[in-house]
Chain A
Amino acid sequence: MKKLFDRVFDGADEMYSIAEKALCDAVEELGGDAPLAMPNTAYYLANFLSYTTRKVTTIGELKEAFEEAKQWNIHDQNMGAVFKTGFGVFMAAEAIEACKYAKGPDPYEGKYHGHLSDAEVRELGVPLVTNDIPGFVVVYGKAPSDDEAVDIIKGYQTRGIFVFLLGEIIEQARRKELNMGFPVRVVAVGPDIWQVAHIISFVNRAAMIFGAVQPGDRWALDDYTFWRIHAFVNVYEPVSDIVVSCGAGAIAMGFPVVTDDEKDMWPVPKSILIQKDTQAFIETSLEARDIKLKITNVDIPVAFASAFEGEIVRKADTRVDFDGARFPSFELVRTLEAHEIEDHSTELFGPDIDDMPEGESLGIAMIAEVAGKNMQTDFEPVFERNFHYFINCAEGVMHTGQRDIIRLRVSKAAFDAGFRLKHLGEILYAKIMSEYDTVVDKCQVKIYTNQDELPALKAMANEVYDKRDERLLSLTDESVDVFYNCILCQSFSPSHVCIVTPERLGLCGAVSWLDAKATNQLNPQGPCQIVTRDRPLDPEIGIWEDVNENVVASSHGNLESVSLYSIMVDPMTSCGCFECICGIEPYSNGVVIVNREHFGITPLGMTFPEMASMTGGGVQTPGFMGHGKHFIASKKFMKAEGGSARIVWMPKALKDMVRSKLDATAKELYGIEGFTDMIGDETVAEDPDALMEFLTGKEHPALGMDPMF
């Protein structure tokens, strides 16, 4: 078997000798002083310019440049030499083509596109840079049949991929009368392999125009083509040595080559892929070049817009009612391996709406399975919680709840318009793929309506939910590497910043550490940024030098220091959206917590709104602090001042809400059973005297603690 490197070198020699001959003929026919220019470009011969910095304007100069290019044809058995040879081949190919253009600006007389003008480079370059065109393919050779030639071209077209054609496939497409041209994103470049020079010229000019790559800067060029130009190559068998030599150049730029030719072909991961099934070229290629297609519309028979989010489907209008309260139902996101997922498939296990009696109540399960190189299981609940918003946007479909307490109704009108259960899959697929495209590469949806199967499936889902809850419990401030900030509220509270940790969620109650982490990864420029905490100043009170630096920057200089675990020393500020306010109660040495829903007075002599006026707006008020409900039972709650044992009063409703977790925390920290019952509420006291009497009777631990100030 002939070695791959030798094939490259033999092919290169072939290209150079064709170029040599073309050049000699041109000198003989036109003379060395004859001007030479590609039409409508300010970049001379762009390949020569980009690789050697030479600005070729005459045949004589091309001859000189070609002599230099010969030094790129190095027959050394190493990768560097092979790649350099590949670039040399593109110069040789450009020399061949330039000789044709020396004789006239349109050597192909409209039959082939040939050279691309600078205007075309800009027109195609912009959408490539912005990813509106996800990439381009160069297809060379002869497809197994004319029909298959059309299929592959149209396949790329429908995926928005720009297509350059070289060789016999052009004739195949013409026989099938396929519409080609720049506007339809299919360009018949030329009949021979050396017209590849025009495509490479496009790439080099794009790098110079859009990447500000300087001629001669190979490192910058390689970097730009690899990261910014999402191109790849498809070659049909037989693949000759000269084509292999061009492939070396393509691979050097980061463009993988997919072929069905096995003879003397050496697969190289991510670079040379042998795919015997030519009909699978598209999928293999997109995966090899990491190209993700944009999903822009949700293909369902009813309207889809946030205007329908709050729409209620009444019982009388309901075609089918899936009721998680009465029948086993759930929704779930699971992470799988990429090969386990058939992208964009929706499978229905069980009857569709047509086979359900009108107005019937049943159970349903919806499982979205996703895969992605950057996917993490921590994102699953984040996606899952958004099912509610996704599904509700469909007209005539109502969704409430989450996990295994969902309710889903489809109206008669939606059913009559053609809405079926597979469209739920369509909604979930389109939304997950568009909203989370930074982490999800593939997605499939499974919907279960077989009522016999649901109980077992639900048990499986419950195991997943339990594992997630355990994971949440196991997360502590010490067990993670970084915290996150959240500046979502700065639009109305410009100097406030939340530092979100596993044990201290955002004061609004809506942003946990996991949420902040997901927000950051999904939108790296978004409102949640990583906050390192590597340089402790006082970990007991929760002060880190690097956290403070972040607070200074993200509060635009308004705050200098924030403690995470103290209400007295530089307490964290509040925007105004806090679920609860905690304030010191001087007589008992403790604190009072009041939640937003409580309208009555507190033993501090203030109501929630009165306390809020002292707490919001991004100001540090020692002794007052806004926080989320879940923070109350955290072991980090006011840790610096002794923790939750300081809590002396809460509204009864709030006590009931946090009781089980707070009792557990107090038992673990202080060995106290039933701590929540030692805390006063509006039914026992709304003034300090009555509260003190109650606390003394209960022997509340705060009474014996050190003064807070």
Chain B
Amino acid sequence: MGYKKEPQVFKAKIGEVVIGAGDAAVTIGGENVWSFYSFDAPIEHKPATGIEFSDKGPDRSLPELAAFYEGAESVADIAARACTAPGADFVSLILESADPNGDNIPSEDAAAIAKEAAEAATAGGKPLVIQTTGNTDKDGELIPKIAEAAQGHNVLILAAKEENYKGIAVAAVTAYGQKIGAESAVDINLAKQLNVLIAQMGIAPGSCVMQLGNAAAGYGFEYLASTIERVKLAALTQNDDTLQMPVIIPIGSDAWAVKESLVSEEDFPEWGPREERGIEMEISTAVAALAAGANAVILRHPAAVKTVSGMVDQLM
């Protein structure tokens, strides 16, 4: 008896979200098969890989990273350089200096930085994803200002949470036409609830992506992977339209904050150079997130971006 191939194509599909303006626009989502199952049905928009940078500049103690950003000092220069990273589908600004536990610069100043980055990204032909502070109060005040400042660039702003989604969703999406991420803490029901609440504010489905949590491989990552899988399972097998937003997972901050990427080579000579370890943490985490079903990942190191997007290209 011969082998008969049965394509596993679902009647349901993940929604599409377009980020970026004009030539810089990129679409994520839209698939109706498991991740990378392009043999079951064509996947029109491949999972996107982004490269992130802080408004305080790259970690220049990492030789390869420092070389990549050499000569780029201003946020605009750094953003422009990031746009040239091989394999990067989008760039991402982390507004680190706006963090209330850090420099805590005023929202107006942070919005001006975001505008600078958005202009540089659009000029460089890449969409911009902005990662804010994660502080509920500060983000509630900051995100509407960013959305206003970056008008016309169709940026994706991460993220709205259950505590502050109202003002963020209405200001960013409805008033200024940007895209937002809905952030929940590794729990399918909380993700669903937040999506429902955001939809109730009159936010169209094509304006919102899900940020389901963050973790580095080996550090509770299996919870995140399982949540991504369960969300996709509900979205595709049960046609649950409250869970059909594309999924974005920021990887860089967590991957570079674990012991493997932090301890120095002097302390652990047998582990080899720190930069290589960090890149490997990023790659292994990102690949697992993509396999679980993420539609976009954000990485910090250009070498990791190149490897991960290369893998995506070869699998599609």
Contact = CB atoms under 8 A, between A and B. Distances in A.
Contacts of A126: 144, 167, 170-171, 174-175
A210 B193 contact: no
Contact of A210 (B170, B188, B197): B170
Given A129-B170, A556-B238, A557-B238, A525 B201 contact: no
A209 B174 contact: yes
Contacts of A552: 238
Nearest to A228: B202
Contact of B174 (A210, A491, A525): A210
A394 interface: no
Nearest to B164: A130
Contacts of B201: 129-130
A372 interface: no
B264 interface: no
Contact of A494 (B196, B204, B230): B230
A56 to B, nearest CB: 24
Contacts of B171: 122, 126
Given A122-B175, A210-B202, A525-B196, A487 B170 contact: no
Contacts of A129: 166, 170, 174, 201-202
Contacts of A131: 166
Given A125-B175, A209-B175, A557-B233, A525 B166 contact: no
Contacts of A487: 189
A553 interface: yes
A557 B240 CA distance: 11
A402 interface: no
A527 interface: yes
Nearest to A118: B175
Interface string A534-563: 000000000000000000110011000000
A496 to B, nearest CB: 12
A557 B144 CA distance: 38
Nearest to B189: A490
Contact of B238 (A494, A527, A553): A553
Contacts of B8: none
Interface string B180-200: 000000011110010011001
Query: Which size class do A's interface residues fall under?
Result: 20 to 34
B53 interface: no
Nearest to A121: B175
Given A130-B166, A491-B187, A210 B234 contact: no
B176 interface: yes
A525 B162 CA distance: 12
A212 B171 CA distance: 14
A623 interface: no
Contacts of B238: 552-553, 556-557
Contacts of B204: 212
Query: Which size class do B's interface residues fall under?
Result: 20 to 34
Interface string A474-513: 0000000000000100110010000000000000000000
Contacts of B196: 525
Contact of A212 (B175, B176, B202): B202
B8 to A, nearest CB: 15
A80 interface: no
B42 to A, nearest CB: 26
Given A126-B175, A491-B187, A557-B237, A525 B197 contact: yes
A147 interface: no
B234 A556 contact: yes
Interface string A203-215: 0000001111000
Contacts of B240: 553
A127 B193 CA distance: 22
A557 B236 CA distance: 11
A526 interface: yes
Nearest to B227: A494
Contacts of B166: 129-132
A132 B226 CA distance: 36
A126 B144 CA distance: 9
B146 to A, nearest CB: 14
Q: Find the residue from B202, B204, B237 having the highest chain A CB count within 10 A.
A: B202
Q: Find the residue from B166, B204, B240 having the highest chain A CB count within 10 A.
A: B166
Contacts of A490: 187-189
A553 B243 CA distance: 12
B188 A556 contact: yes
A122 B173 CA distance: 11
Contacts of A209: 174-175
Nearest to A122: B175
Nearest to A489: B189
Contacts of B175: 122, 125-126, 209-210
B188 A494 contact: yes
A672 to B, nearest CB: 44
Nearest to B192: A525
20 contacts: A129-B170, A129-B201, A130-B166, A130-B170, A131-B166, A209-B174, A210-B170, A210-B202, A211-B202, A487-B189, A491-B187, A491-B190, A525-B193, A525-B200, A553-B238, A556-B230, A556-B233, A556-B234, A556-B238, A557-B233
Interface of B: 144, 148, 166-167, 170-171, 174-176, 187-190, 193, 196-197, 200-202, 204, 226, 230, 233-234, 237-238, 240
Given A126-B174, A491-B190, 11 more contacts: A122-B171, A130-B170, A209-B174, A210-B202, A494-B226, A494-B230, A526-B193, A527-B189, A556-B188, A556-B230, A556-B233
Q: Across chains A and B, which 9 residue pairs bring their CB atoms closest together, nearest first?
A: A130-B166, A122-B175, A126-B171, A129-B170, A556-B234, A126-B170, A491-B187, A210-B174, A130-B167
